[in-house]
A and B are shown apart, each in its own frame.
Chain A
Amino acid sequence: MAEKHSVTGFDEFTEFIKNFKSDKIVNVLFTGEKADGKSWCPDCNEAEGFVNDAIEKYADNTVFVSVDVGNRETWKDLKNPFRTDKDTNLMVIPTLIRWKNPQRLEGDQLCKPELLQMFFTEED
């Protein structure tokens, strides 16, 4: 079982991640805000099933943080801190990052089971 957390917005995320201490690998998914279970971001919706499947299969003993980056207008703003912050450096959503590590999948890469498997299972 993966340890799951959910945060909303940049400030809540930075506060959370700054204080979060764990020996386990921390993976973070950045995705668009949801209303009634579905996000305004179609790519995020499409990826959700694949990512959840991969977490079920491969993400035991890791930490999974789901971050809601906001609504469409907030995301489209080029000054959005998720875009400008050098640790997140988001160019697209959905983005899946191994926190403070090079492993990263973006956009439709999150719909590819073999890439998700690689992300969650392969060591350096």
Chain B
Amino acid sequence: MIVLNLVKSSLLVACRSATNQYRHNITSNLRLTTVRLFSSNGESYEYDLVVIGGGSGGLACAKEAVQFGAKVAVLDFVKPTPLGTKWGLGGTCVNVGCIPKKLMHQASLLGEAIHDSQAYGWEIEKPENVKINWTKLTESVQNHIKSVNWVTRVDLRDKKVEYINGLGYFKDPHNVHVVLKNKTERTLNTKYVVIACGGRPNYPDIPGAVEFGITSDDIFSLEREPGKTLVVGAGYIGLECAGFLKGIGYDVSVLVRSIILRGFDQQMAELVKASMAEKGVEFQVGAKPLSVEKQDNGKLLVKWAFNDNPSDVKQDVVDTILFAIGRHALVEDMQLDRAGIKVINGKIDVDVNSKTNVDNIYAVGDVLYKKPELTPVAINAGRIIARHLFNNSKEVMDYEDVATTVFSPLEYGSVGLSEENAISRHGEDNIEVYHAYYKPTEFFVPQRSVRYCYLKAVALREGDQKILGMHFLGPAAGEIIQGFAAALKSGITMKILKNTVGIHPTVAEEFTRLLITKRSGVDPTPATCCS
């Protein structure tokens, strides 16, 4: 590996005053000859690392690995959705996840802001005519995504990471076979493999779901207007989609099988639901869809029923049904058994070094068993794997206290334990929960509802009261919680928080004003601000 590194760096120096000789010698991968790399036990491999999956985790791992001189190839392939939607390099986050989601969430917030602006004096000639152009929105979003796809590919090429647009599967632990888009095939012989294949949305096993339903994979590039939409599923994907579709101007309802935001603090989840209901999203809780049919007029007839009364079949006519009922990791396509990799509940389990049960094979991202499915988690873990494999690093991924935000119309940001987890871990008597409702200054003028603007800190009861979890429902929740995530990791206590002077007027300062405990029973609704 060191030999190759020296060869590469001298070639990079020569490149700036490129000559004909250089151009003749260079293939697209900067391989002058097939350089065999020797590992410590004398075995040689064509590649140091093959990464299966070009998403958040895979790309971070690959780009970090080349910095240490590793020869790396990234495989990425997107199987089109039933609707035919497909996308480029970058994975879920860039193409059909975080990025387009945040842009559409922003679009919906801007719609609200346009209306609020009138109270602040902006003169809008015909407010009732302010409406979304769905085509323009999806075009803008897709243009951004495509430019990110391009920049990603340039970055990989610039960093000498080989990108192969093909579906990879194992022949054995050191040989990954790729079938390319143009049907050609190759086998990549490699010392290490990192599985970073991610996941895709589930469809329910009911008539018409696959033929007529869409998922988050399709919504961000949908060529027709979504119109009246039924969202099935109340995890964060379902809620975020329902939220921005409603904010953009469509009629939206949500079918919830049992609870909202499973795994999240349930008090906060109920407040999120209430805040969305206040904005006009209809929730049917304890229900599931039975079938989807297409009517002659092109609309969809959805039949559904409450779980406790399945024979009382309800129906709705909608333009779109969006399934957000969960995601499955793409373990099926890789022939993991040929490498001896164990699968648990459709996911891959790893040790503290992100290693699977097979010594040269690692895994990262949404494919992992019982790890947070978040881009920054995958990126951090991916980089640590590369440093571990190619730079003798002893670093280990820290999965504790990972902050997240649900980008519902009124956002919910949190870090650390939910109240119920804190109670089950420490006992109710050993926990103190500080909480408050608050009123953002900017909301008064346009008379925006403050009914669900709420926050709480969950702490240990004794001593300086170490904070275990912080939860915030309100505008810009992600921006607010991020700093507190670092504070939590540093061991922030209620004593420190109370001694922290707030920035005024903000909503984040409400954390520094927390005084009322749940235990006291005192009404947490504020009288006025500034006192």
Interface size class of A (residues with CB under 8 A): 10 to 19
B133-160, CB under 8 A of A: which get 1 and which 0?
0000000000100110110011001100
B1-42, CB under 8 A of A: which get 1 and which 0?
000000000000001101000110010101000000000000
Cβ–Cβ contact B18 & A50, under 8 A: yes
Taking the nearest CB of chain A, how far is it from the CB of B352, in angstroms? 38
Taking the nearest CB of chain A, how far is it from the CB of B13, in angstroms? 13
Cβ–Cβ contact A115 & B146, under 8 A: no
Cβ–Cβ contact A118 & B18, under 8 A: no
The CA-CA distance from A111 to B23 in the complex, in Å, is 13
- Set of chain A residues within 8 Å of B143, measured between Cβ atoms: 102
- Set of chain B residues within 8 Å of A42, measured between Cβ atoms: none
Cβ–Cβ contact B23 & A115, under 8 A: no
Interface size class of B (residues with CB under 8 A): 10 to 19
Q: Is B469 an interface residue, CB under 8 A from the partner?
A: no
Which residue of chain A lies nearest to B145 when distances are taken between CB atoms in the complex? A102
Cβ–Cβ contact B149 & A102, under 8 A: yes
Given A50-B18, A124-B88, is A115 in contact with B147 using a C-beta cutoff of 8 Å? Answer: no
Given A50-B18, A53-B23, A124-B88, is A114 in contact with B146 using a C-beta cutoff of 8 Å? Answer: no
The CA-CA distance from A34 to B258 in the complex, in Å, is 69
Taking the nearest CB of chain B, how far is it from the CB of A112, in angstroms? 7
Cβ–Cβ contact B146 & A112, under 8 A: no
- Set of chain B residues within 8 Å of A113, measured between Cβ atoms: 15, 18, 22-23, 26
Question: Interface residues of B: mostly helix, strand, loop or mixed?
Answer: helix
The CA-CA distance from A105 to B155 in the complex, in Å, is 11
Cβ–Cβ contact A118 & B157, under 8 A: yes
- Set of chain A residues within 8 Å of B22, measured between Cβ atoms: 113
Q: Is A83 an interface residue, CB under 8 A from the partner?
A: no
- Set of chain A residues within 8 Å of B88, measured between Cβ atoms: 124
Q: Is A71 an interface residue, CB under 8 A from the partner?
A: no
Selected contact of B154 from candidates A50, A101, A115, A124, CB within 8 Å: A115
Best-buried of A50, A53, A112, A117 by chain B (most CB within 10 Å): A112
Cβ–Cβ contact B23 & A114, under 8 A: no
Taking the nearest CB of chain A, how far is it from the CB of B146, in angstroms? 4
Given A50-B18, A112-B15, A117-B28, is A105 in contact with B154 using a C-beta cutoff of 8 Å? Answer: yes
Selected contact of A103 from candidates B23, B30, B150, B157, CB within 8 Å: B150
- Set of chain B residues within 8 Å of A50, measured between Cβ atoms: 18
Cβ–Cβ contact A115 & B157, under 8 A: yes
- Set of chain A residues within 8 Å of B158, measured between Cβ atoms: 109, 112, 114-115
- Set of chain A residues within 8 Å of B146, measured between Cβ atoms: 101-102, 124
The CA-CA distance from A111 to B115 in the complex, in Å, is 49
- Set of chain A residues within 8 Å of B157, measured between Cβ atoms: 114-115, 118
Cβ–Cβ contact A114 & B147, under 8 A: no
- Set of chain B residues within 8 Å of A105, measured between Cβ atoms: 154
Given A112-B158, A113-B26, A114-B157, is A102 in contact with B150 using a C-beta cutoff of 8 Å? Answer: yes
- Set of chain B residues within 8 Å of A102, measured between Cβ atoms: 143, 146-147, 149-150
Which residue of chain B lies nearest to A101 when distances are taken between CB atoms in the complex? B146
Cβ–Cβ contact B153 & A118, under 8 A: yes
A92-124, CB under 8 A of B: which get 1 and which 0?
000000000111110001011111011000101
The CA-CA distance from A124 to B30 in the complex, in Å, is 22
Which residue of chain A lies nearest to B27 when distances are taken between CB atoms in the complex? A114
- Set of chain B residues within 8 Å of A112, measured between Cβ atoms: 15, 158
- Set of chain A residues within 8 Å of B147, measured between Cβ atoms: 102, 104
A56-95, CB under 8 A of B: which get 1 and which 0?
0000000000000000000000000000000000000000
15 chain-A/chain-B pairs, Cβ below 8 angstroms:
A50-B18, A102-B143, A102-B146, A102-B147, A113-B15, A113-B18, A113-B22, A113-B23, A113-B26, A114-B157, A115-B154, A118-B153, A118-B157, A122-B153, A124-B88
- Given contact pairs A115-B158, A124-B149, enumerate 7 new A-B contacts (beta carbons under 8 Å): A53-B23, A102-B150, A104-B147, A109-B154, A113-B23, A114-B28, A118-B157
Interface residues of B (CB under 8 A from A): 15-16, 18, 22-23, 26, 28, 30, 88, 143, 146-147, 149-150, 153-154, 157-158
Interface residues of A (CB under 8 A from B): 50, 53, 101-105, 109, 111-115, 117-118, 122, 124
